[in-house]
Structure 1
Amino acid sequence: TGWYRHAEIPLINGWLVRLGAAHQMRVDVTETPSDISEESLRAYDVLLINNANELDQVFSQQQRAAIRQWYQAGGGIVGLHAALVRQQGWEWFSELGGCDFESDSNYQRAKVMVDPQARDHPAVEGYGPEFWYSADWHNHTRPVTGLEGVQVLLRVDESTYEPVRDYFLEQGATPMGEDHPVSWTRQYDGSRFFYTELGHDLRSLDTEFGRMHILEAIRWVAKSTSEE
């Protein structure tokens, strides 16, 4: 990470390895930026960004170009939680994600709504039209609804929780309002990107829904599902 480091990144890394092993996926983990190169990326179908923020401070311009070229050639990217925090310094990745971090909530239970157009997506299938879930919810700089190639999967109902915690209220932050996406896909610039708010800590992931959500996110960006 280039900025704030979430304390449970190592726990989530281990959880991802175990999840992959249980479903015949090879998962390698690194926190060493130099491990990422044009050559090393060739071995992988998916790059999963576990809360790694401000990546322009982590990867060199050459490494960022290698990731972009790998993606454009068909590699898929999954972003967890803070993967869309302070990424404006990497213009391409910021555009791919569609927004950045503005503020957040405390860990709270909230009503989550499945977009009607996405109910058959494998990462949310069987959970529509709405359900309750607990997580730390981000407020983004803009809704991604309507951006080219974006399909919103989940929105959170701000009337069911406190969307801005006190720290950010004191700085003048405001909720996003009725259109508050918390998970989406994007088919853009040659391949597939998946983002989810889940992943601030392990408790937001290690549930029946969380395990399915992340597993199917990986499969979707790897193009190993029949969903288009």
Structure 2
Amino acid sequence: MLLLLDIGVSSGTVQAKQFSALLFTKTAGWHHQSILEGVSAIRTLAKTHDFTVDWQEDPNYFSNDKLASYDVVIFLLTSGDVLNEPQQKAFEAFIAQGKGFVGVHSAADTEHDWPWFKALVGRTFVIHPTIQTANIDVVSHIFPGAAQLPKRFLWTDEYYHYGEAHTEQLQYILSVDETSYAPAVTWGDLSVQGMGKFHPLAWYQYYDGGRSFYTGLGHLGAAYQQPMFLAHLYGGIYWAATGKGL
């Protein structure tokens, strides 16, 4: 007797996942203790939303052959100079093919000497004050990474001060109200009072043929257990990977 086993195969094919993500966490500068919490959370998002995720700290994955397997690359809490020139060229080609990028928190403190990457992220980290609680405002709900967020909410994080925008295409999602916390900070000769009336925290853009989403949230490991933050993060990953949801 021939036994037919249900192994998820129909008509000779296996059901494909929604999309495939490369999760990259290499650090060459500050190493966040929350990286493991972030990896765990994104793996859970992959199970919940039916996409595949490969976690790597090996920059050799940035080759044309290896990147061809992915729809989106996530820089989770990366820092410093993490890719050499051939790896950078492979990543540039990946984005030019219409693929996606997601940067989380210190992705803005990565590859300071690579102009293309800084433009991909959108803005570059300059300095930050101590971790504080502040009011965050949703600038626009017309983005899948903001659809489930209230118009204003109280949040605790390490709020980066960023430099000027590297492109004119940035579409802002979140900002932090500087009147609700103490933004002033001094590191040696560098002293900053804040970014002023508008202090952006998250944005997206179409860039060099592909898509880019960045969020400045995610410093604390506990954030990766918060449903609101995970909805924000997944919405950005989904859009960057597929271009859908706007």
TM-score (norm 1): 0.89
Does residue 61 (structure 1) correspond to residue 80 (structure 2)? The answer is no
Q: What SS class does the counterpart of residue 123 from structure 1 fall into?
A: coil
Distance 1:2 1:14 in 2: 21
Residue 158 (1) aligns with residue 178 (2) = yes
The residue aligned with 1:75 is 99
- Partner of 2:128, secondary structure, is strand
Percent of aligned positions that are identical: 28
Q: Which amino acid aligns with 1:75?
A: K
Distance 1:86 1:225, change over 3 A: closer
Corresponding residue number in structure 2 for 1:5 = 31
Match of 2:191 in 1: 172
Matched, 1:196 2:218: no
Q: Which amino acid aligns with 2:209?
A: G
User: How far did 1:105 drift?
Assistant: 2.5
Contact 1:123 1:212 in 2 (8 A): yes
1:17 pairs with 2:43: yes
Query: When the two structures are aligned, how many residues end up with a matched partner?
Result: 220
- Asked if structure 1 preserves the Cα contact closer than 8 Å seen for 2:134 and 2:177, the reply is yes
Query: What residue ranges of structure 1 are gaps of 5+ in the alignment?
Result: none
Task: State the AA in 2 paired with 1:73.
Answer: Q
**Does 1:121 find its partner at 2:114?**
no
| 1:138 equivalenced with 2:160 (yes/no) | yes
SS of match in other structure, 1:221: helix
Q: Decide which structure has greater helix share.
A: 1
Distance 2:88 2:173 in 1: 27
Displacement after TM superposition at 1:10 (Å): 2.2
Quote how far apart the aligned CAs of 1:58 are: 2.0
Task: Report the CA distance between 1:128 and its aligned residue.
Answer: 4.3
Q: Mind listing any 5+ residue stretches in structure 2 that lack a counterpart?
A: 1-26
**Which of 1 and 2 has greater Rg?**
2
Which of 188, 204, 209 is the equivalent residue of 2:228?
209
Contact 1:198 1:205 survives alignment (8 Å): no
- Alpha carbons 1:77, 1:192 under 8 Å: kept: yes
In the superposition, the TM-score normalised over structure 2's length comes to: 0.83
RMSD: 1.9
Letter in 2 for 1:6: H
Q: State the SS of the aligned residue for 1:153.
A: strand
- For residue 79 of structure 1, give the secondary structure of its aligned residue in structure 2: strand
After superposition, give the CA deviation of every residue in 1:130-161 in whole Å (9 maximum; x if it has no partner).
2222211100112x39x422100011001101
> Which residue of 153, 168, 173 corresponds with 1:148?
168
> Cα offset for 1:88?
2.4
The structure-2 alpha-carbon separation of the partners of 1:224 and 1:24, relative to structure 1 and needing over 3 Å to count, comes to farther
Alignment partners' CA distance in 1, 2:64 and 2:120: 19
2:108 to 76, 81, 84: 84
Q: C-alpha distance in 1, partners of 2:237/2:144?
A: 11
Q: Provide the secondary structure at the position in 2 that maps to 1:63.
A: helix
